């Protein structure tokens, strides 16, 4: 029979809000397409199946009560998925997008879309959905602190860690929270690559002054992957960012940055920028502990409304310690297999499903790849690592490379020796055992090697 009128929808919305706290509702009700299919059937169109599942689980009963109260008749409500549906509320969502949990009662309702920033945010990436553990507790606490009082403390906030550990989640959670609590602020969130490209485009088109005014007028500037600021063709953009940083910091405007390395380890950054990045707080995110990995998997299972046995969660968490993306990818494979075969999720089926996934997960880690990454980390060349030089600055990276080659590849000691410049069998065994022993005694050294391992697993 057609969509309900805006007036009827507004009355339903107001009735619905009597049944829940406004801040618990994710979205803008007036943007939902509510259709009366026949005299007693209501259809609500949502972007995809995940949103349908979310609304079904959290809102259906109370929506139904509100609709029946306003229409004054018994109805049934159905949520219809339309994967290519676009609206101002859900821009450019993919079919596998996962809707977020409702905000807790300390948060304000989500405002109407402002500019293009919402177009770039994943609705799942909010503070309430960030699993906190020893690996990320400080980064989470400091990010929340600066969004509560932007520009007042911890400025800049610099978050660093390997790929897939939650940096982008925290940055986007900051955006969501700022949009909720500080609606009058001008917020820019973009990748470093986007900043560079925008700068180059502005210079080429003669719109440099407009670009300059835009970013220096921000109340909050959030940039992901700042390590891509570099030399050569990117040198001019680094110069521009330096002046943008100074302008914002002098005006007590909040700056939040993320990187795969701490400032001092980004070799292409100028010293003056490294110094400024250290003015505020630097928070490192480490790979999640076993307990945190299990908690992340449980949360992912909840999104899919699936009961996953603990032994399956423990199996995945025990075999994947690299990053959150791999964890979630493994669980999605397990859930997908069970759905396709209409079978319960079990440990035996999960092992079968994940056999190829697990075997290929780190198959890209080869000896040349290890040498390249170790050399990059310690700022020595691969040629030096393979040479016979015995200076400490080279011998330690070489021994670490030998140790990692033995751990991550199927190569024999002889093959490793050949790859490291023709070292003999005894030398390779000595290097391996020396690093192994030091790891058990030197916590700081172990932290260094753990960071290297995290980088290797994440295609560092």
- For residue 29, how many other CB atoms are within 10 A of its CB? 18
Q: How confident is the model at residue 2 (pLDDT cuts 50, 70, 90)?
A: low
pLDDT in tens, 221-246: 999 989 888 655 567 888 899 999 99
Q: What is the pLDDT of residue 211?
A: 92
Show Cβ contacts of residue 257 under 8 Å, excluding neighbours closer than 6 positions. 156, 157, 158, 159, 222, 223, 226, 277
Q: What is the pLDDT of residue 232?
A: 56
Among 44-53, 281-290, 406-415, 432-441, name the one with the lowest average pLDDT: 44-53
pTM of the model: 0.58
Count of residues for the chain? Answer: 460
DSSP 330: H
Determine contact, residues 334/351, Cβ cutoff 8 Å: no
Q: What is the pLDDT of residue 23?
A: 44
DSSP 152: T
CATH 1.10.8.60 domain extents, the chain: 290-361
Mean pLDDT of 333-342: 86
CATH 3.40.50.300 domain extents, the chain: 117-285
CATH class of 2-81: alpha beta
CATH 1.10.1750.10 domain extents, the chain: 367-457
Q: Which CATH number fits domain 290-361: 3.40.50.410, 1.10.8.60, 1.10.3720.10, 1.10.510.10?
A: 1.10.8.60
Q: What is the pLDDT of residue 395?
A: 93
pLDDT in tens, 89-116: 333 333 344 444 333 333 333 334 334 5
Q: Which DSSP helix (H) or strand (E) runs through 66?
A: helix 60-71
CATH 3.30.300.180 domain extents, the chain: 2-81
Q: How far apart are CA 275 and CA 354, in angstroms?
A: 45
Q: How confident is the model at residue 122 (pLDDT cuts 50, 70, 90)?
A: confident
Q: For 367-457, CATH number?
A: 1.10.1750.10
CA–CA distance from 326 to each of 100, 278, 317, 323 (Å)?
20, 31, 10, 6
Output the average pLDDT for the chain.
82
Q: What is the pLDDT of residue 28?
A: 44
pLDDT in tens, 364-381: 788 999 999 999 888 899
Q: What is the pLDDT of residue 97?
A: 41
pLDDT in tens, 273-324: 999 999 999 999 988 888 999 999 998 888 778 889 999 999 999 888 777 8
Q: Nearest to residue 379, comparing CAs of 361, 397, 364, 365?
A: 397
pLDDT in tens, 34-90: 788 777 888 887 756 656 777 787 788 888 888 888 888 888 988 887 643 333 333
Mean pLDDT of 437-448: 88
Superfamily of the domain at 117-285? P-loop containing nucleotide triphosphate hydrolases (3.40.50.300)
Q: Percent of the chain having pLDDT more than 90? A: 34
Q: What is the pLDDT of residue 21?
A: 55
Q: What is the pLDDT of residue 107?
A: 34
């Amino acid at each position: 029979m057609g969509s309900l009128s805006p007036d009827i929808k507004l009355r339903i919305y107001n009735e619905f809000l009597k049944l829940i706290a406004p801040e618990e509702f994710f979205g803008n009700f007036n943007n939902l397409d509510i259709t009366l299919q026949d005299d007693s059937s209501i259809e609500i169109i949502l972007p995809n199946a995940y949103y349908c599942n979310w609304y079904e689980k959290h809102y259906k009963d109370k929506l139904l009560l509100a609709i029946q109260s306003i229409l004054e008749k018994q109805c049934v409500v159905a949520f219809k998925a339309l994967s290519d549906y676009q609206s101002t509320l859900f821009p450019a969502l993919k079919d596998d997008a996962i809707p977020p949990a409702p905000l807790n009662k300390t948060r304000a309702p989500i405002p109407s879309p402002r500019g293009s920033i919402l177009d770039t945010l994943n609705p799942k990436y909010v503070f309430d959905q960030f699993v906190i553990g020893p690996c990320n507790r400080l980064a989470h606490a400091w990010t929340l602190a600066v969004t509560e009082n932007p520009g007042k403390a911890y400025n800049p906030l610099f978050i660093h860690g390997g790929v897939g550990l939650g940096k982008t989640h925290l940055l986007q959670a900051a955006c969501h929270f700022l949009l909720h609590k500080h609606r009058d602020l001008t917020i820019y969130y973009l990748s470093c690559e986007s900043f560079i490209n925008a700068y180059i485009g502005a210079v080429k088109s003669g719109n440099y002054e407009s670009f300059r005014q835009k970013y220096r007028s921000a109340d909050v500037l959030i940039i992901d992957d700042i390590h891509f600021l570099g030399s050569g063709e990117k040198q001019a953009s680094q110069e521009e960012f330096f002046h943008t940083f100074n302008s914002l910091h002098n005006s007590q405007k909040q700056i939040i940055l993320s990187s795969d390395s701490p400032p001092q380890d980004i070799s292409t950054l100028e010293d003056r920028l490294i110094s400024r990045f250290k003015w505020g707080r630097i928070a490192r995110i480490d790979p999640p502990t076993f307990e945190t990995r299990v908690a992340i998997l449980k949360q992912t299972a909840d999104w899919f409304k699936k009961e996953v046995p603990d032994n399956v969660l423990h199996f995945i968490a025990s075999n994947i310690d690299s990053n959150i993306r791999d964890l979630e990818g493994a669980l999605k494979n397990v859930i997908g297999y069970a759905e396709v075969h209409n079978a319960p999720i079990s440990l035996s089926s999960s092992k079968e499903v994940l056999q190829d996934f697990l075997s290929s997960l780190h198959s890209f880690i080869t000896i040349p790849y290890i040498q390249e990454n170790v050399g990059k980390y310690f700022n020595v060349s691969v040629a030096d690592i393979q040479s016979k030089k015995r200076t400490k600055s080279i011998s330690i990276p070489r021994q670490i490379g030998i140790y990692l080659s033995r751990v991550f590849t199927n190569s024999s000691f002889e093959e490793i020796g050949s790859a490291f410049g023709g070292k003999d069998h005894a030398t390779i065994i000595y290097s391996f055992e020396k690093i192994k022993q030091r790891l058990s005694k030197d916590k700081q050294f172990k932290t260094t090697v753990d960071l290297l391992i995290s980088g290797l697993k994440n295609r560092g």
